[in-house]
């Protein structure tokens, strides 16, 4: 008899929580700055292709593993294919999640700083150039960055200590629709700025001359980052799904909503970047320079700013919750320790890494790994190595190793509905496209191509 987990209570709740994991700083902070650094349109096209050919199939592979067993990765693989060494990759996922959460929560700390300064009225009222130096000064101040990062971590683990179901489900149900509405308001506002069409051109005009291999790697890493792939997050979440949810429909809904948020964020950011004559390739600080400029010229700017950063905070915390849940569920499942203990171990570890990366722009700015400071290093290896490796492993596992009856059973809910085209599509992408694409990227890393 399968051990029953108390899962998400409704299908909507499960989707909202998974969208909550997917939609976060990846969409609103990382996607625009990566698109900006890689020349816009061509990057976005490659990104969309990655979502279709890699994103949806790999989400499905994680869902199939998690939902068929109601276990996290290691236990799931043991149950599905006893003795298979693939279970060892669970450690890669857990390790990747800890590293990613370690730098991601630093940006969450920045969001709190901006929320705070918007609310006390000191953020707005500067020129676009001043916003750039305000940001640089802020990340260069060790105390503020560390305090906000720790505060964020405390809030994150407080929510987690209440158990994931009601907390996450409820927050996600309210916050995600609100975030959409607000993004649309900001899009309309950005599009009305003088000279906004240049920004739209930058976003949607596909010119491969601007996109090198590095840009393709970034687009692929970003697709994985944005959909929360490859670090066993979706295996963990789907282990809490009901047996009657339709996995393919859910995977498509989640990817579509996630992509929509990313594109909307681009439409908020780039028209404003060009309208104010700023630099699209400004890197991680991009949105922190542009957003205040946008809020400032809206009537009632302070209120918009506060509202936006509150929602960005919620979008981020629903993502860090899912990242933290990976090691927590893993420790509980593997070492049979209590949720409380698992939570404390995870919290200490993640907060330690977060504090170190919060100092990357000040005290530890001289520490370089692969030519990058600690923060940039984690932002690079998290998505571009750990997530891709995890994605490769799940793709090969479900594409080649796992019994196809399990796949069929999960896709059709035990034969309840058909999957005539879906299964061949998923399996083809998992067998050939994902492994070849990811291996090519790894060969590029080591300089073979
Ligand atoms: N998908 C999240 C985002 O776009 C980040 C994330 C990655 C969350 C991996 C969970 C697991 O912000």
Shortest-distance atom of ligand 1 to CA 229: 9
pLDDT given for residue 3 in this prediction: 44
Banded model confidence at residue 128, pLDDT cuts 50, 70, 90 = confident
User: What b/e readout covers 73-86, taking b as 16+ CB neighbours within 10 angstroms?
Assistant: bbbbbbebbeeeeb
CA 437 to chain centre: 20
Ligand 1 contacts CB of residue 221 (under 6 A): no
Shortest-distance atom of ligand 1 to CA 387: 9
Residue 337 phi/psi, 5-degree rounding, is: -95, 165
Distance 15 CA to ligand 1 centre (A): 15
pLDDT given for residue 187 in this prediction: 94
pLDDT given for residue 167 in this prediction: 67
pLDDT single digits (tens) 23-74: 999 999 999 999 999 999 999 999 999 999 999 999 999 999 999 999 999 9
pLDDT given for residue 231 in this prediction: 96
Ligand 1 contacts CB of residue 226 (under 6 A): yes
Distance 227 CA to ligand 1 centre (A): 6
pLDDT given for residue 4 in this prediction: 46
Ligand 1 contacts CB of residue 22 (under 6 A): yes
Mean pLDDT of 177-199: 92
Question: Average per-residue pLDDT in the chain?
Answer: 92
Ligand 1 contacts CB of residue 21 (under 6 A): yes
Mean pLDDT of 365-394: 95
Ligand 1 contacts CB of residue 236 (under 6 A): no
pLDDT at 331 over 80: yes
pLDDT given for residue 392 in this prediction: 97
Among protein residues, the one whose CA lies closest to atom 11 of ligand 1? 228
Q: Are 262 and 27 in contact (CB under 8 A)?
A: yes
pLDDT at 387 over 90: yes
> What pTM, to 2 d.p., does this model score?
0.93
Residues 6+ apart with CB under 8 A from 366: none
CA 355 to chain centre: 20
Ligand 1 contacts CB of residue 317 (under 6 A): no
pLDDT given for residue 5 in this prediction: 55
Distance 225 CA to ligand 1 centre (A): 5
pLDDT given for residue 7 in this prediction: 64
d(CA 427, CA 317): 33
pLDDT single digits (tens) 73-112: 999 999 999 999 999 999 999 999 999 999 999 999 999 9
pLDDT at 407 over 80: yes
Distance 166 CA to ligand 1 centre (A): 20
d(CA 186, CA 376): 28
Residue 5: HSE in the Cβ half-sphere, 13 Å Cα cutoff = 23
Tell me how far CA of residue 31 lies from CA of 207, 264, 293, 305, in angstroms: 18, 10, 19, 20
Ligand 1 contacts CB of residue 319 (under 6 A): yes
Among the ranges given (6-15, 196-205, 316-325), the one the predictor scored with the smallest mean pLDDT: 6-15
Ligand 1 contacts CB of residue 25 (under 6 A): yes
pLDDT given for residue 1 in this prediction: 36
pLDDT given for residue 95 in this prediction: 95
Ligand 1 contacts CB of residue 225 (under 6 A): yes
Cα radius of gyration rounded to whole Å, the chain: 21
pLDDT single digits (tens) 219-269: 999 999 999 999 999 998 898 888 988 999 999 999 999 999 999 999 999
Ligand 1 contacts CB of residue 235 (under 6 A): no
Q: Running DSSP on this structure, what letter comes out for residue 4?
A: P
pLDDT given for residue 418 in this prediction: 82
pLDDT at 2 over 80: no
The angle, 0 to 180 degrees and rounded to 10, between the axes of the packed helices 142-161 and 339-358 is 160
CA 69 to chain centre: 24
Shortest-distance atom of ligand 1 to CA 258: 4
Domains of the chain with bracketed CATH: 11-445 (1.10.4160.10)
């Amino acid at each position: 008899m399968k051990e029953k987990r108390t899962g998400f209570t409704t299908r909507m709740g499960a989707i909202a929580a998974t969208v909550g994991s997917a939609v976060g700083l990846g969409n609103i902070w990382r996607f625009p700055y990566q698109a900006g650094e890689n020349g816009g349109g061509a990057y976005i096209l490659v990104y969309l292709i990655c979502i279709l050919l890699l994103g949806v199939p790999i989400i499905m592979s994680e869902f199939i593993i998690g939902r068929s067993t109601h276990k996290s990765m290691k236990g799931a693989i043991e149950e599905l294919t006893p003795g298979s060494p693939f279970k060892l990759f669970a450690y890669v996922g857990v390790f990747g999640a800890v590293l990613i959460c370690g730098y991601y929560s630093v940006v969450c700390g920045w969001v709190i700083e901006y929320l705070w300064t918007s609310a006390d009225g000191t953020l707005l009222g500067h020129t676009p150039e001043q916003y750039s130096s305000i940001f640089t000064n802020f990340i260069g101040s060790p105390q503020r960055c560390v305090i906000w990062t720790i505060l964020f971590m405390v809030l994150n683990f407080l929510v987690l200590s209440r158990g994931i179901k009601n907390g996450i489900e409820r927050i996600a149900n309210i916050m995600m629709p609100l975030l959409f509405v607000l993004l649309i308001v900001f899009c309309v506002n950005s599009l009305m700025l003088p000279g906004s069409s240049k920004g739209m051109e930058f976003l949607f005009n596909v010119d491969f001359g601007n996109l090198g291999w590095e840009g393709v790697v970034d687009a692929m890493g970003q697709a994985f980052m944005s959909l929360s792939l490859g670090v066993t997050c979706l295996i963990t979440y789907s282990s809490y799904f009901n047996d009657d949810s339709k996995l393919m429909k859910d995977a498509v809904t989640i990817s579509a909503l996630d992509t929509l948020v990313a594109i909307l964020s681009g439409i908020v950011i780039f028209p404003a970047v060009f309208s104010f004559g700023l630099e699209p390739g400004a890197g991680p600080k991009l949105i922190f320079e542009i957003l205040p400029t946008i809020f400032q010229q809206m009537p009632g700017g302070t209120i918009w700013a506060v509202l936006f950063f509150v929602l960005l905070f919620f979008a981020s915390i629903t993502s860090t919750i899912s990242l933290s849940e990976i090691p927590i569920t893993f420790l509980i499942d593997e070492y049979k320790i209590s949720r409380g203990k698992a939570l404390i171990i995870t919290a200490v570890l993640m907060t330690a890494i977060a504090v170190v990366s919060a100092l990357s722009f000040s005290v530890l700015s001289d520490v370089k790994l692969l030519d990058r400071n600690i923060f940039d290093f984690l932002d690079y290896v998290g998505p571009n190595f750990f997530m891709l490796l995890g994605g490769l492993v799940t793709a090969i596992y479900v594409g080649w190793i796992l019994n196809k009856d399990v796949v069929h059973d999960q896709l059709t809910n035990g034969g309840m509905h058909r999957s005539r085209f879906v299964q061949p599509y998923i399996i083809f992408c998992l067998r050939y496209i994902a492994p070849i694409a990811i291996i090519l990227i790894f060969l590029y890393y080591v300089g073979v191509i």
